[in-house]
Chains A and B, each alone.
Chain A
Amino acid sequence: MIVDEQIKMKKVAILFRRAPHGSPHGREALDLALLSASFEQEVSLIFVDDGVLNLVKDQQPELIGAKDYIATFGALPLYDVETVLVCEESLLEYGLDLTDLTIEADMVSPSLITEQLSKVDEVLVF
Protein backbone atom coordinates (compact mmCIF):
# COMPACT_ATOMS: atom_id res chain seq x y z
CA MET A 1 0.00 0.00 0.00
CA ILE A 2 1.50 3.35 -0.95
CA VAL A 3 1.72 5.46 2.17
CA ASP A 4 -0.23 8.55 1.19
CA GLU A 5 0.48 11.79 3.00
CA GLN A 6 -3.27 12.28 3.29
CA ILE A 7 -3.36 9.11 5.40
CA LYS A 8 -5.10 11.03 8.19
CA MET A 9 -8.03 11.75 5.83
CA LYS A 10 -11.06 9.79 6.84
CA LYS A 11 -12.72 7.70 4.10
CA VAL A 12 -16.48 8.12 4.34
CA ALA A 13 -18.98 6.31 2.12
CA ILE A 14 -22.48 7.71 1.90
CA LEU A 15 -24.95 5.14 0.64
CA PHE A 16 -28.29 6.14 -0.85
CA ARG A 17 -30.89 3.36 -0.69
CA ARG A 18 -34.15 5.39 -0.59
CA ALA A 19 -35.96 7.11 -3.43
CA PRO A 20 -35.80 10.93 -3.59
CA HIS A 21 -38.56 13.34 -2.51
CA GLY A 22 -40.52 10.88 -0.43
CA SER A 23 -38.38 11.65 2.60
CA PRO A 24 -35.57 14.01 3.62
CA HIS A 25 -32.96 11.25 3.42
CA GLY A 26 -31.66 12.06 -0.05
CA ARG A 27 -31.13 15.74 0.61
CA GLU A 28 -29.55 15.06 3.99
CA ALA A 29 -27.21 12.53 2.42
CA LEU A 30 -26.04 14.97 -0.25
CA ASP A 31 -25.65 17.79 2.28
CA LEU A 32 -23.47 15.49 4.40
CA ALA A 33 -21.45 14.41 1.38
CA LEU A 34 -20.62 17.99 0.40
CA LEU A 35 -19.96 19.00 3.99
CA SER A 36 -17.62 16.05 4.62
CA ALA A 37 -15.82 16.68 1.36
CA SER A 38 -15.32 20.34 2.27
CA PHE A 39 -13.69 19.12 5.49
CA GLU A 40 -11.10 17.30 3.38
CA GLN A 41 -12.57 13.86 4.01
CA GLU A 42 -12.35 11.35 1.19
CA VAL A 43 -16.02 10.95 0.30
CA SER A 44 -17.50 8.27 -1.94
CA LEU A 45 -21.17 7.95 -2.89
CA ILE A 46 -22.93 4.65 -3.44
CA PHE A 47 -26.41 4.28 -4.99
CA VAL A 48 -28.37 1.07 -4.57
CA ASP A 49 -31.97 -0.12 -4.65
CA ASP A 50 -34.48 2.78 -4.72
CA GLY A 51 -31.49 5.09 -4.18
CA VAL A 52 -30.55 4.96 -7.88
CA LEU A 53 -33.70 6.99 -8.56
CA ASN A 54 -31.95 10.02 -7.07
CA LEU A 55 -29.86 10.18 -10.24
CA VAL A 56 -32.60 10.03 -12.85
CA LYS A 57 -32.32 12.93 -15.31
CA ASP A 58 -34.80 15.78 -15.86
CA GLN A 59 -36.45 15.65 -12.44
CA GLN A 60 -38.67 18.57 -11.44
CA PRO A 61 -39.18 18.13 -7.69
CA GLU A 62 -40.53 21.66 -7.32
CA LEU A 63 -43.71 20.49 -9.06
CA ILE A 64 -44.53 18.52 -5.92
CA GLY A 65 -43.20 21.10 -3.52
CA ALA A 66 -39.97 19.18 -2.91
CA LYS A 67 -36.60 20.95 -2.71
CA ASP A 68 -34.53 20.41 -5.84
CA TYR A 69 -31.33 18.94 -4.40
CA ILE A 70 -30.98 16.74 -7.49
CA ALA A 71 -29.37 19.62 -9.36
CA THR A 72 -26.76 19.84 -6.60
CA PHE A 73 -25.37 16.44 -7.56
CA GLY A 74 -23.68 18.37 -10.35
CA ALA A 75 -21.50 20.11 -7.75
CA LEU A 76 -19.80 16.92 -6.64
CA PRO A 77 -16.72 17.33 -8.86
CA LEU A 78 -16.18 20.83 -7.41
CA TYR A 79 -15.91 19.18 -4.02
CA ASP A 80 -13.45 16.55 -5.34
CA VAL A 81 -15.97 13.77 -4.81
CA GLU A 82 -14.72 11.47 -7.55
CA THR A 83 -16.02 8.09 -6.48
CA VAL A 84 -19.68 7.69 -7.43
CA LEU A 85 -20.74 4.04 -7.60
CA VAL A 86 -24.11 2.83 -8.86
CA CYS A 87 -25.19 -0.78 -8.44
CA GLU A 88 -25.44 -2.48 -11.82
CA GLU A 89 -28.13 -4.87 -10.63
CA SER A 90 -30.25 -2.08 -9.16
CA LEU A 91 -30.06 -0.11 -12.41
CA LEU A 92 -31.08 -3.20 -14.36
CA GLU A 93 -33.94 -3.84 -11.92
CA TYR A 94 -35.31 -0.34 -12.59
CA GLY A 95 -34.70 -0.55 -16.34
CA LEU A 96 -32.11 2.23 -16.18
CA ASP A 97 -28.58 2.59 -17.54
CA LEU A 98 -25.82 5.16 -17.21
CA THR A 99 -27.25 7.36 -19.98
CA ASP A 100 -30.37 7.91 -17.86
CA LEU A 101 -28.35 9.40 -15.03
CA THR A 102 -27.87 13.07 -14.39
CA ILE A 103 -24.17 12.74 -13.44
CA GLU A 104 -21.14 10.61 -14.35
CA ALA A 105 -21.03 7.42 -12.30
CA ASP A 106 -19.33 4.04 -12.32
CA MET A 107 -21.71 1.13 -12.81
CA VAL A 108 -20.37 -1.59 -10.53
CA SER A 109 -21.26 -5.06 -9.33
CA PRO A 110 -22.67 -5.67 -5.86
CA SER A 111 -19.40 -7.37 -4.87
CA LEU A 112 -17.45 -4.23 -5.70
CA ILE A 113 -19.82 -2.28 -3.45
CA THR A 114 -19.14 -4.84 -0.73
CA GLU A 115 -15.42 -4.15 -1.18
CA GLN A 116 -15.97 -0.40 -0.94
CA LEU A 117 -18.00 -0.81 2.28
CA SER A 118 -15.04 -2.64 3.80
CA LYS A 119 -12.37 -0.27 2.48
CA VAL A 120 -13.79 2.92 3.98
CA ASP A 121 -13.60 4.01 7.63
CA GLU A 122 -17.27 4.96 7.93
CA VAL A 123 -20.48 4.12 6.07
CA LEU A 124 -23.61 6.23 6.49
CA VAL A 125 -26.83 4.89 4.98
CA PHE A 126 -29.65 7.16 3.91
Chain B
Amino acid sequence: MNLHHIQTSAKQDNALACCIKYMDKQDSVLLSGNGVNSLLLSQWRERLADIRVMLLKDDVEARGLSKRFKDYPLIDYDTFVKESLTHDKVITW
Protein backbone atom coordinates (compact mmCIF):
# COMPACT_ATOMS: atom_id res chain seq x y z
CA MET B 1 0.00 0.00 0.00
CA ASN B 2 1.50 3.31 -1.05
CA LEU B 3 1.10 6.84 0.30
CA HIS B 4 0.80 9.40 -2.51
CA HIS B 5 1.90 12.92 -1.67
CA ILE B 6 0.59 15.90 -3.67
CA GLN B 7 1.93 19.40 -3.02
CA THR B 8 0.35 21.38 -5.86
CA SER B 9 -3.20 22.43 -6.64
CA ALA B 10 -4.96 20.61 -9.48
CA LYS B 11 -5.40 23.95 -11.22
CA GLN B 12 -1.66 24.59 -11.13
CA ASP B 13 -0.24 21.18 -12.06
CA ASN B 14 -1.44 17.76 -13.25
CA ALA B 15 0.05 15.90 -10.26
CA LEU B 16 -3.30 15.08 -8.62
CA ALA B 17 -4.87 13.93 -11.88
CA CYS B 18 -1.91 11.65 -12.63
CA CYS B 19 -1.89 10.31 -9.08
CA ILE B 20 -5.58 9.40 -9.14
CA LYS B 21 -5.25 7.81 -12.56
CA TYR B 22 -2.36 5.50 -11.66
CA MET B 23 -2.76 4.88 -7.93
CA ASP B 24 -4.22 1.72 -6.43
CA LYS B 25 -7.59 2.56 -4.89
CA GLN B 26 -6.45 1.00 -1.58
CA ASP B 27 -3.62 3.55 -1.38
CA SER B 28 -3.82 6.79 0.61
CA VAL B 29 -3.32 10.37 -0.54
CA LEU B 30 -1.79 13.20 1.46
CA LEU B 31 -2.41 16.74 0.24
CA SER B 32 -0.04 19.44 1.49
CA GLY B 33 0.80 23.00 0.51
CA ASN B 34 -1.42 24.25 -2.32
CA GLY B 35 -2.47 20.63 -2.80
CA VAL B 36 -5.16 21.19 -0.15
CA ASN B 37 -6.84 23.76 -2.43
CA SER B 38 -7.96 21.03 -4.84
CA LEU B 39 -10.55 19.89 -2.29
CA LEU B 40 -12.32 23.24 -2.64
CA LEU B 41 -13.23 22.14 -6.15
CA SER B 42 -16.24 19.80 -6.32
CA GLN B 43 -14.91 17.76 -9.24
CA TRP B 44 -11.80 16.84 -7.23
CA ARG B 45 -13.80 16.20 -4.04
CA GLU B 46 -15.86 13.75 -6.08
CA ARG B 47 -12.85 12.05 -7.68
CA LEU B 48 -11.31 11.61 -4.25
CA ALA B 49 -14.59 10.57 -2.64
CA ASP B 50 -13.82 6.90 -1.99
CA ILE B 51 -10.08 7.32 -1.46
CA ARG B 52 -8.44 7.74 1.93
CA VAL B 53 -7.35 11.40 1.91
CA MET B 54 -5.37 13.24 4.59
CA LEU B 55 -4.45 16.91 4.73
CA LEU B 56 -1.48 18.57 6.38
CA LYS B 57 -3.00 20.59 9.23
CA ASP B 58 -0.65 23.58 9.09
CA ASP B 59 -1.27 24.08 5.38
CA VAL B 60 -5.04 23.96 5.88
CA GLU B 61 -5.00 26.34 8.84
CA ALA B 62 -2.55 28.69 7.11
CA ARG B 63 -5.10 29.05 4.32
CA GLY B 64 -8.06 29.59 6.66
CA LEU B 65 -9.72 26.38 5.48
CA SER B 66 -9.97 24.42 8.75
CA LYS B 67 -13.75 24.69 9.09
CA ARG B 68 -14.26 23.85 5.45
CA PHE B 69 -12.18 20.70 5.73
CA LYS B 70 -13.31 19.57 9.18
CA ASP B 71 -14.58 16.27 7.75
CA TYR B 72 -11.09 15.33 6.52
CA PRO B 73 -8.24 14.03 8.74
CA LEU B 74 -5.96 17.03 9.38
CA ILE B 75 -2.63 15.51 10.33
CA ASP B 76 0.53 17.00 11.80
CA TYR B 77 4.08 16.19 10.75
CA ASP B 78 4.50 13.42 13.37
CA THR B 79 1.45 11.67 12.00
CA PHE B 80 2.80 12.16 8.46
CA VAL B 81 5.99 10.32 9.49
CA LYS B 82 3.95 7.54 11.14
CA GLU B 83 1.77 7.22 8.04
CA SER B 84 4.82 6.99 5.79
CA LEU B 85 6.09 4.14 7.96
CA THR B 86 2.84 2.18 7.84
CA HIS B 87 2.82 2.36 4.04
CA ASP B 88 5.20 0.47 1.77
CA LYS B 89 6.52 3.72 0.35
CA VAL B 90 5.71 7.36 -0.31
CA ILE B 91 5.31 8.53 -3.91
CA THR B 92 5.62 12.30 -4.28
CA TRP B 93 3.99 13.44 -7.47
Q: Interface of A with B (CB < 8 Å)?
A: 17, 48-50, 87, 110, 113-114, 117-118, 121-123, 125
* Given A114-B23, A114-B24, A50-B14 contact (CB < 8 Å): yes
Please determine whether A114 and B89 come into contact, CB atoms closer than 8 angstroms.
Answer: no
Check A122 against B89 for contact (C-beta < 8 Å).
yes
Minimal Cβ-Cβ distance residue in A for B17: A49
Query: A110-B21, A117-B22 given as contacts; is B89 within 8 A of A49 (CB)?
Result: no
- CB of B22 within 8 A of CB of A113, answer yes
The answer to whether B14 and A125 touch across the interface, beta carbons within 8 angstroms, is no
Distance in angstroms between the alpha carbons of A27 and B36 in the assembled complex: 29
- Measured in the bound complex, the distance between the Cα atoms of B19 and A110 in whole Å is 11
Q: Cβ of A123 and Cβ of B89 under 8 Å apart?
A: yes
**If A110-B21, A117-B23 touch, does A49 touch B14 (CB 8 Å cutoff)?**
yes
User: Is B92 among interface residues, defined by CB-CB distance under 8 A?
Assistant: yes
Show 20 A/B contacts (Cβ-Cβ < 8 Å), sorted by A.
A17-B14, A17-B15, A17-B18, A49-B14, A49-B17, A49-B18, A87-B22, A110-B21, A110-B22, A113-B22, A114-B22, A114-B24, A118-B2, A118-B24, A121-B89, A122-B89, A123-B2, A123-B89, A125-B15, A125-B93
In this complex, what residue of A is CB-closest to B91? A123
Q: State A113–B18 Cα separation when bound (angstroms).
A: 11
Given contacts A118-B2, A121-B89, A123-B89, whether A48 and B23 have CB atoms under 8 Å apart is no
